[in-house]
């Protein structure tokens, strides 16, 4: 069996790394393709080193651009790679534009596609990722889900049961493998904070950072929290740009510790030892659930509902008063302790490769 694995953005790295480990351990031939969708050489290098990943065999160097441009560029650039390598199966992960483009290119060449993290649904078609998820799942041949509700979504969409496999979460495989190494990180000392005496903020979704009123409301709430609890904010370049454009810099003047985006191990350590995490990221909702850290999600919906029903996550949207009420409850010691979801046990990649070896 020959496997071609596709990554396009940093969140993909944590999801594919355990699968590559498993392929290597079993002596299975594989090719790693980086589309370069969110290519930042320095940050990508940090993640590859932290995760112990090999350098990609192929870099498509697509770069940034509109959704249509990125998707089209990946389609055109990956097709000759697929024709040259002729893999038995293509593995795509997550929900970025590269995920969809690689799926379409492989399917049109008659190459089976395996989608890792299939079936997640926010039911919000204003999210570009939701369109990518729906289209990828409708074409893929092997649909590997992280939670039972995702499998149910696929069945309701008419996908045959024999294509759906509930295997667990490869992102949690990465977390469990590296959490002890992350403890060796000196990031807390570098930032001047103490364990359980700071919060973490991440903010990057267009619905939050491209809308002046939403961004103002979120930052006003965060600045109120930051008066009592230092907030570490590894700030996304687009978010930084929007804050300046909208004249909101003054809201970050007190109680915030701003940093550049961090490597995987540093950020894992930062999340693990935080008192609270406020985010609009999908993956962080999952990581905080396993780490047992209270998470406030600055969105009105989530494609990862198990983090709310079983985990430590709560949805509050961008309303200032709701954010403050939820944070006050957590910081007042009222956060619920919940359990780790089924099959989030560090063994998802092994299950995926078992199935592919049996069926491809």
Residue 10, in any domain of the structure: yes
User: Is residue 25 in some structural domain?
Assistant: yes
Measure the CA–CA gap between 111 and 296, rounded to whole angstroms. 40
Q: Is 200 found in the same domain as 74? A: no
Q: If we measure between CA atoms, which residue out of 102, 12, 95 comes closest to residue 51?
A: 12
Backbone angles phi, psi at 234, to 5 degrees: -70, 105
Answer whether residue 181 is part of any domain. no
Share of the chain above pLDDT 70, in %: 98
Is the domain of 236 the same as that of 162?
no
Count how many residues are written for the chain.
360
Q: Is the pLDDT of residue 122 over 90?
A: yes
The alpha helices in the chain, defined as continuous H runs, are 10-25, 41-50, 67-85, 97-108, 128-139, 148-156, 170-182, 187-191, 206-209, 212-226, 237-245, 264-272, 282-291, 306-309, 320-329, 348-359
Whether 204 is catalytic is: yes
| 32 strand-pairing partners | 5
pLDDT, mean of residues 178-200: 98
List the single range of 4-13, 20-29, 164-173 with lowest mean pLDDT. 4-13
Domain match, 328 and 196 both: yes
Cβ atoms of 171 and 349 closer than 8 Å:
no
Mean pLDDT of the 285-301 span:
96
Amino acid 45: pLDDT: 77
Mean pLDDT of 41-47: 75
At 47 the pLDDT is 87
The verdict on 303 and 232 lying in the same domain is yes
Residue in 83, 76, 85 with CA at minimum distance from that of residue 29: 85
Q: Which pLDDT band, with edges at 50, 70 and 90, does 39 fall under? A: low
Q: Is 80 exceeded by the pLDDT of residue 41? A: no
Residues 255 and 310 in one domain: yes
224 and 94 share one domain? no
Confidence band of 42 (pLDDT split at 50, 70, 90): low
User: What is the tens place of the pLDDT at every residue in 252-287?
Assistant: 999 999 999 899 999 999 999 999 999 999 999 999
- Give the predicted TM-score (pTM) of the model: 0.95
Same domain, 8 and 103: yes
180 assigned to some structural domain:
no
Average pLDDT, the chain: 96
* Whether residues 318 and 355 fall in one domain: no
Rounded CA-CA distance 340/47 in Å is 25
Give the domain extent around 138.
2-169+344-359
Asked if 41 and 93 sit in the same domain, the reply is yes
Query: CA 166, CA 192: separation in Å to the nearest integer?
Result: 42
What's the total number of domains in the chain? 2
CA 152: distance to chain centroid? 21
Whether the predicted pLDDT of 238 surpasses 90: no
Selecting among 34, 57, 204, 321, the annotated active-site residue is 204
- Cβ neighbors of 20 (< 8 A, separation 6 or more) are 5, 30, 32, 53, 54
d(CA 36, CA 194): 36
- Report the CATH number at residue 326: 3.40.50.2000
Give a yes or no: residue 125 inside a domain: yes
Confidence at 44, pLDDT banded by 50, 70, 90: confident
Judge if 240 and 263 occupy the same domain. yes
* Residue recorded with tokens 């999801």: 15
Specify if 197 maps to a domain: yes
Q: Both 72 and 137 in a single domain? A: yes
Residues 177, 18 contacting (CB under 8 angstroms): yes
Predicted local distance difference test score (pLDDT) of residue 54 = 92
Does 41 or 271 have the greater pLDDT score?
A: 271
Is-contact 93 16, C-beta < 8 A? yes
Q: Running DSSP on this structure, what letter comes out for residue 331?
A: I
Q: Does 260 lie in the same domain as 289? A: yes
Average pLDDT over residues 68-73: 96
- pLDDT of 223 over the 80 cut: yes
Mean local confidence (pLDDT), 100-118 = 99
Confidence class of residue 246 from pLDDT cuts 50, 70 and 90? very high
């Amino acid at each position: 069996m020959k496997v071609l694995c596709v990554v396009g953005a940093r969140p993909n790295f944590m999801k594919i790394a355990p699968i590559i480990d498993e392929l290597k351990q079993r002596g299975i031939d594989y090719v790693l393709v980086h589309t370069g969708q969110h290519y930042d050489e320095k940050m990508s290098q940090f993640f590859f080193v932290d995760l112990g990943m090999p350098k990609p065999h192929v870099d498509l160097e697509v770069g940034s651009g509109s959704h249509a441009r990125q998707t089209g560029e990946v389609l055109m650039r990956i097709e000759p790679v697929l024709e040259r390598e002729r893999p038995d199966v293509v593995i795509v992960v997550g929900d970025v534009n590269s995920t969809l483009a690689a799926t379409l290119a492989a399917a049109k060449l008659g190459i089976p596609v395996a989608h890792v993290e299939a079936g997640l649904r926010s039911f919000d078609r204003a999210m570009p990722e939701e369109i990518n998820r729906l289209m990828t799942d409708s074409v893929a041949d092997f649909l590997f889900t992280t939670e039972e509700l995702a499998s149910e979504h696929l069945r309701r969409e008419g996908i045959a049961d024999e294509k759906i496999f509930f295997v667990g979460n490869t992102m949690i495989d990465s977390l469990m493998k590296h959490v002890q190494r992350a403890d060796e990180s000196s990031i807390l000392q570098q930032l001047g904070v103490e364990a359980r005496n700071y919060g973490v903020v991440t903010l990057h979704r267009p619905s939050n950072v491209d809308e002046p009123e939403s961004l103002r409301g979120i930052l006003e709430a965060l600045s109120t929290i930051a008066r009592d609890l230092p907030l570490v904010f590894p700030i996304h370049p687009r978010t930084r740009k929007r804050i300046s454009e909208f004249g909101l810099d003054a809201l970050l003047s007190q109680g915030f510790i701003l940093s550049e985006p961090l490597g995987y191990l540093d950020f894992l350590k930062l999340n693990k030892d935080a008192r609270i995490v406020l985010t609009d990221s999908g993956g962080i909702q999952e990581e905080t659930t396993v780490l047992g850290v209270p998470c406030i999600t600055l969105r009105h919906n989530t494609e990862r509902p198990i983090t709310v029903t079983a985990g430590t996550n709560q949805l509050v949207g961008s309303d200032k008063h709701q954010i403050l009420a939820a944070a006050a409850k957590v910081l007042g010691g009222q956060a619920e302790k919940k359990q780790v979801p089924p099959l989030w046990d560090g063994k998802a990649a092994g299950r995926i490769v078992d199935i592919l070896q049996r069926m491809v």
